[in-house]
Structure 1
Amino acid sequence: MNILLPTSIVGSLPKPAWLAPPEKLWSPWILEGDKLMEGKQDALRIALQEQLLAGADIICDGEQTRQHFVTTFIEHLSGVDFENRKIVKIRNRYDASVPVVVNEIARQKAVFVDDAKFLRKQTDKPIKWALPGPMTMVDTLYDAHYKSREKLAWEFAKVLNEEAKELQAAGVDIIQFDEPAFNVFFDEVNDWGMAALERAIDGLHCETAVHVCYGYGIQANNHWKKTLGSEWRQYEEIFPKIQKSNIDIVSLECHNSNVPVSLIELVRGKKVMVGAIDVASAKIETPEEVADTLRRTLEFVNIENLYPSTNCGMAPLSRNIARGKLSALSAGAKIIRNEFAI
């Protein structure tokens, strides 16, 4: 990156109300057929424009073309039954109706590559694309075939790697893997989860990121956070493994969380996407609040490796609030740039 403190969001932005009912996850599409395709592309254009107007330095698709950050990718794989669903507890937190793995997993065609090509044509800025991580995919469905979380994660890693290589060829600069499950299943992360993620990035030469957070600002996640005590030290369990990995960027939750900022020291040498925007609150941060969060992290990450970001995606928020938070992020980063006279 040529610019210091490049800003970006983690993944999702709210969708326009004419595309999907607002402020909810797994929101059903309102349009159908060709109108849906056209509507998704229009929404993608709007997401791009709103990021540009807010001053974002790294652009993403805002996940406008997908219903959910995990299941939309799984929908395009063979070997998964979406009709006969099962209820499972996701991240040991909340029940959800999920698809079932009934046969060998295979990726028959590209999932997001056409969308990435479309976005690439719209802007010269660096673009980032989010994919679900293998462990989080495993945790978002029911496995009736492999009967092994590790084996299934390995199969997902293979198809993710196929997709990632095509996204890279489409001009994506950063591929981000969303792994909220890393914050829950520490033993599995260290036994095989990190290895599966390394398999997913095998052979890539674009930058890669892993996003590990405490989840969207939905009720189940907010209740869970209240049980975590005065210090959230989950990152302590997994950051040493990430630090030794080939992942370039670590994305973490920071602002309005009880994560000790000093834990960032455990990934020293990596680029760090510091979450300076709270997505679990409708309150729009001031630029000074954003700057304060970033300032506190600079003891533990070199300024050239600090990438200001959001804690998580903003899909469940209203568009006005998301827009305001995005602008505050850029303004806060500018304060720090000015302090360092850069």
Structure 2
Amino acid sequence: MKTSTNNPHPETQILSTSTAGSLPKPAWLAQPEVLWSQWKLEGKELIDGKHDALRVSLQEQQQAGIDIVSDGEQTRQHFVTTFIEHLNGVDFEKRQTVKIRDRYDASVPTVVSAITRPKSVFVEDAKLLRQQTSQPIKWALPGPMTIIDTLYDDHYHSREKLAWEFAKILNQEAKELEAVGVDIIQFDEPAFNVFFDEVNDWGMACLERAIEGLKCETAVHICYGYGIKANTDWKKTLGSQWRQYEVILPKLQASNIDIVSLECHNSRVPIELLELIRGKKVMVGAIDVATDTIETPEEVANTLREALKYVDADKLYPCTNCGMAPLSRHVARAKLQALSAGAQIVRTELCA
């Protein structure tokens, strides 16, 4: 694994585990098991509370045996909107209803003028995480296409133009995160699983612009969404095989992205589609985030064994299917423990 040039950490072990992104927040910070949950604190208490939650989230990952750790998105209300809140050009009071991911209606803020980033968004949080651990750390940012799908555009009047503006801004943020010691910068692009023509026409190019010039490792996370009703209902319409990855994986295989993070366990994605990104590092989703059922270590191991038919062992990273913010902390902890235990089973088999 490449590491940030100013912060050389030890190489990670084979089958290093990670999470896709969000983890449940403590009940004293925000209402648990809810997306877009309102903060329960204000002012300096909120800042301190977010940072306390980040420390707790890190500790829970470490206790579960997660190798590549993150902030659990504890300082964010939502993986997209919290980034947008820190930019100029978006009016959160002027709201419109749009269909997100061509799937469900949501009230979203409006782009009213040119998008600019007056200062870094997550750098101080990333510094805090870096200070807390010597383990490799991963930081997630929303991808350009997924951002624009969560806004109403009343200024650029072009999804492509707006995406390019966000790609430039994300690149600025990513370079600052790299500079404070982030080892992997991940771009969350669930929209890639929906808007195939746009991915082909400009979406992939915008993602490449977002990672331009980075020396740390880069990842893209593409899944079928949080375990919320709108997403689970959508999955029921996709038939016996989910082949969306078949369209986008060849493009990712030819891209400069280092790691591709995908949903695998309990999904109807044909596992053999992983062959389409042979040679890339793959974060294989071996934990289902759409159910409270705790996977057994052997179930995790089975998913990883299947993935190893198409991904070389030194390029496979056991992971969760998506973020776990809507789950209870008890369930999330147990699932992370199962992920680590399952990875250890396969790691032992590979080393035998």
- TM-score category of the 2 structures, normalised to the smaller one: over 0.9
Structure 2: where are the runs of 5+ without partners? Answer: 1-10
Cα offsets for 1:82-103 (capped at 9, x unmatched):
0011110100111111010010
User: Could you say which residue in structure 2 is the equivalent of 1:72?
Assistant: 82
Match for residue 217 of structure 1?
Answer: 227
Match in the other structure for 1:262: 272
**Matched residue, 2:256:** 246
- Aligned residue in 1 for 2:341: 331
**The one of 321, 328, 340 aligned to 2:331:** 321
Alpha-carbon distance in structure 1 between the residues aligned to 2:317 and 2:244: 21
Q: Distance in 2 between matches of 1:68 and 1:27?
A: 8
2:12–2:67 Cα contact (<8 Å) kept: no
Q: How does 1:28-67 map to 2 (within 5 A)?
A: 28-67=38-77
Q: Of 132, 145, 152, which residue of structure 2 is paired with 1:142?
A: 152
What is the rounded CA distance, in whole Å, between the counterparts of 1:2 and 1:214 in structure 2? Answer: 28
4+ residue runs over 2 A deviation: none
State TM-score, norm by structure 2.
0.97
Matched, 1:307 2:313: no
Residue 91 of structure 2 aligns to a residue whose secondary structure is strand
Q: Distance in 2 between matches of 1:341 and 1:110?
A: 43
Residues 128-139 of structure 1: pairs in structure 2 closer than 5 A: 128-139=138-149
What is the root-mean-square deviation of aligned Cα atoms in Å? Answer: 0.6
Structure 1 distance, partners of 2:91, 2:177, is 26
Quote the residue 1:188 is aligned against. Answer: 198
* Corresponding residue number in structure 2 for 1:228: 238
Deviation at 1:202, TM superposition (A): 0.4
Match of 2:187 among 170, 177, 182: 177
| 1:15-26 map, 5 Å | 15-26=25-36
SS of corresponding position for 2:186: strand
Taking the aligned partners of 1:129 and 1:195, their CA distance within structure 2 comes to 21
Find the counterpart in structure 1 of residue 106 from structure 2: 96
Find the aligned partners of 2:288 and 2:35 in 1 and give their Cα distance: 17
Distance in 1, matches of 2:38 and 2:58, equals 22
Q: Give the length in aligned residue pairs.
A: 342
Structure 1: which 5+ residue stretches go unaligned?
none
Counterpart check, 1:105 vs 2:119: no
Separation in structure 1 between the aligned mates of residue 161 and residue 249 of structure 2, nearest angstrom: 23
Q: Distance in 1 between matches of 2:90 and 2:350?
A: 52
CA distance in 2, matches of 1:2, 1:69: 26
Structure 1 match to 2:94: 84
Instruction: String of CA shifts for 1:41-97, please: whole Å, max 9, x gaps.
Output: 100000000000000000000000000000000011100000011110100111111
Q: Is 1:7–2:13 an aligned residue pair?
A: no
TM-score (norm 1): 0.99
Equivalence for 2:7? none
Aligned to 2:174: 164
Residue type of the alignment partner of 2:321: N
The counterpart of 2:213, out of the listed 198, 203, 209, is 203
- Give the Cα separation in 1 of the matches to 2:87 and 2:314: 39
Q: Is 1:283 the counterpart of 2:293 in the alignment?
A: yes
Selected match of 1:117 from 120, 124, 127 = 127
Aligned-pair CA distance for 1:340: 1.2
Quick one: percent identity of the two aligned structures?
75
SS of residue in 2 equivalent to 1:211: strand
SS at match of 1:153: helix
Q: CA offsets per residue over residues 214-272 of structure 1, 9 Å max, x none?
A: 00000000000000000000000111111100000000000000000010011111000
Give the whole-Å Cα distance in 1 for the aligned partners of 2:122 and 2:170. Answer: 11
CA offset at residue 2 of structure 1?
3.1
Counterparts of 1:267 and 1:147, CA distance in 2: 34
Which residue type is aligned with residue 49 of structure 1?
Answer: Q
Give the partner amino acid of 1:20.
Answer: A
Cα distance in structure 1, aligned partners of 2:121 and 2:109: 17
